[in-house]
Amino acid sequence: MRLSDISDTKTLRAGFPDICRAIKEKETDMEVTEKNRTKYRMPGEFEPHEGCVMIWPERPGSWNYGAREAQKAFVKVAEAIGESENVYMLVSKAQMENAKNQLGNVSGVTLLECETDDAWARDVGATMVLDEKGAVCGVDWQFNAWGGTFDGLYRNWEKDDRVAAFICRTLGCPCLDARPFVLEGGSIHSDGEGTLIVTEACLLSQGRNPQMSREQIEEQLKYWLGVHKIIWLPCGIYQDETNEHVDNVCAFVRPGEVVLAWTEDETDPQYSMSLADLKVLEQETDAKGRKFKIHKLPIPQKPVCLTREDVDGFVFEEGEDEREAGERMAASYVNFYISNGGIILPQFGDENDKRAVEILQKCFPERRIYPIDARAIIVGGGNIHCITQQIPGKISDLDAEKL
């Protein structure tokens, strides 16, 4: 099976060994040319959605005290998203009755039974793209818990690694198997017009694709996502255990326009990290040659840290990264979700909560801002964007010409 054959296949599990061999043969000289490249396109998150995928939280090493507060926060997020698009909530068999009780009256939510290792839909779910006819397809990256045996966050991730294929099968869309390339959805942001933003800290980390050069990684991203230019930011958010995913530090508002996590406090470790990103964005242009319009979005004024009470509520399994009292979490207002009708925005009980609402309302005047108390989510290690994964809506033949 050739890499160029992939687009003609509905589900590629049967061809997985052949695909692995094909990619490995090309590791040193892989080149995807315009002639043989199947034309997919990853839409911007601000484009129309059919729906959103979420996963019901329960992992005791991520969600303390039986995930009680986390589940309440997930319900609030689902309620806000469900006002303007469908929500597909993956739920384990053991949690199904509980989820029905809490989500049964929430408009637009469909519960789907699926076993997972955790609830990070952004990273384990399929990355949805459109083919040349505007049909939705799902890219199934290999998932290894943010670093595998090198620096992954838990030892067993087999259930998570099957989620993307389950989503594609359930939604009835083609599943494009990108294995053995390791990637998480939170590590990429697309403008829908050929530009992708990533961080060097994450994509070049030794726990993902250490055998591949930066250029080979770019070729994979260009092939599967239909992008032409990749902007490499040096850093993400301080203490981000995903090796600094881009979705926590920088996001597209629309083509040519981004928000960047920022602090004016030069004593904060985030200051130098955001400054390095700003310098890259100011010097770069996107795939269409546009300079970036940059909105500085403050991080919380006071760092969000775990308390002893927080930590005492976790139950860690062997080989799982453990939390500590006083640990600073990677809290960022950039970790919002763009729904058809709103911006689902994390709030931390901080003096900058209101400022973040005001800035994003100006960035998205056509959308409603939904401020959600998200401390129970950040305690798990991520935030609202991390627990959501959009499904693009069908597009017209005219829109398909963007490919």
Say if CB 298 and CB 355 are below 8 A apart: yes
Q: Give the DSSP letter string of 44-113.
A: -TTS-EEEEEEE----TTTSTGGGHHHHHHHHHHHHHHHTTSEEEEEE-GGGHHHHHHHHTT-TTEEEEE
Closest to 152 measured CA to CA, from 213, 206, 198: 206
- How far apart, in whole angstroms, are the C-alpha atoms of residue 381 and residue 309? 16
What are the structure tokens assigned to 107, written together?
Answer: 């408009």
- Would you say 11 and 196 are in contact if contact means Cβ atoms under 8 Å apart? no
CA 75, CA 109: separation in Å to the nearest integer? 10
- Cis geometry, peptide bond prior to residue 180 (ω within 30 degrees of 0): yes
Neighbour-count burial for 113-141, b at 16+ CB within 10 Å, e otherwise: ebebbbbbbbbbbbbbbbbeebebbbbbb
How many angstroms separate the Cα of 85 from the Cα of each of 257, 287, 391, 396?
24, 30, 10, 19
Q: Which residue has the tokens 């860690």?
A: 316
**Scanning the structure block, which residue is given the tokens 């990103």?**
277
Whether 305 is catalytic: no
Cα–Cα nearest to 369, from 316, 321, 333, 322: 333
Q: Assess contact for 229 and 216: CB atoms under 8 A.
A: no
What token pair was written down for 87? 């929500």
Catalytic one among 52, 114, 175, 386? 386
Q: Give residue for tokens 């800035």.
A: 359
User: Two tokens at 387?
Assistant: 């627990």
Question: Residue 261 has which token pair?
Answer: 């996590």
Catalytic positions, written as ranges: 386
